[in-house]
Structure 1
Amino acid sequence: MATSPATALQPAMNPAQELLTVPQVMASLQLGRSAVYDLLRTRQLASITLGRARRIPAHALSDFIRTRLDQEAA
Structure 2
Amino acid sequence: MQKEAVKPKSIQDYPMILTAKDIAEILRVSKPTAYELMRRTDFPLLPFEGRIRRVRRDEFFQWLARKSQNNTTA
TM-score (normalised: structure 2): 0.61
Aligned length: 59
Q: Which runs of 4+ in 1 moved over 4 A?
A: none
How do 1:1-74 residues align onto structure 2 when only pairs under 5 Å count? 18-48=16-46, 49=48, 52-74=51-73
Distance 2:71 2:65 in 1: 10
Q: Which has the larger radius of gyration?
A: 1
**Greater fraction of residues in helix:** 1
Deviation at 1:28, TM superposition (A): 0.7
Q: Name structure 1 gaps, 5 residues minimum.
A: 1-14
Supply the distance in 1 between the matched residues of 2:51 and 2:71 (Cα, whole angstroms): 34
Q: 1:45, 1:60 within 8 Å by CA — same for their partners in 2?
A: no
**Is residue 20–residue 55 contact of structure 1 (8 Å, CA) maintained in 2?**
yes
CA deviations on 1:37-57 (whole Å, 9 max, x unpaired) are 111112232222267532111
CA deviations 1:12-52 (Å, max 9, x no partner) are xxx6x911111011101111112111111122322222675
How many percent identity over aligned positions?
Answer: 17
Report which of the two has the higher share of strand: 1
TM-score by length of 1: 0.61
Query: Are the structure 2 counterparts of residues 50 and 18 from structure 1 closer, same or farther at C-alpha, using a change threshold of 3 Å?
Result: farther
